[in-house]
Amino acid sequence: MAKNYKLIYFNLRGKAEHIRLIFVHGNIQYEDVRVEFSEWPALKPKAPFGQLPYLEADGKQLAQSNAIARFVSKQCNLMPSSDWEQAQADELAELFDDIKERK
């Protein structure tokens, strides 16, 4: 398990709130870096794919909110053990993305 986690995202819930909740539920310490929109142009070239959120874990960077959520869930021992149950967890994550995108 990585020891130093840093979640970088804008100062809003958006695509990172579920990741924050996983950290809290799993009782894992992390640094919650909230980026102001005025700071984004300077940070963008350093961000993977030029996007937020991303996670820094012991000097490595991981992008894409669902990939980050799955990684953190595994670190917290929250991921199911069977392939079928993992697929169902992925299914729900995709559904939540669809719901968030609806306006």
* Residue count (the chain): 103
DSSP of 7-38: EEEESSSTTTHHHHHHHHHTT---EEEEEPGG
Q: Residues 39, 24: contact at Cβ < 8 Å?
A: no
Q: Quick check: 1 pLDDT over 80?
A: no
How does pLDDT run across 20-40, given as a tens digit for each residue?
999 999 999 999 999 999 999
Quick one: pLDDT at residue 103?
A: 60
Question: Is-contact 76 25, C-beta < 8 A?
Answer: yes
| Structural domains of the chain, with CATH | 5-101 (3.40.30.10)
Residue 2: pLDDT band (50, 70, 90) is: low
Q: Can you give the pLDDT at residue 21?
A: 94
What pLDDT was estimated at residue 58?
92
What does the pLDDT look like over 68-91, one tens digit per residue? Answer: 999 999 999 999 999 999 999 889
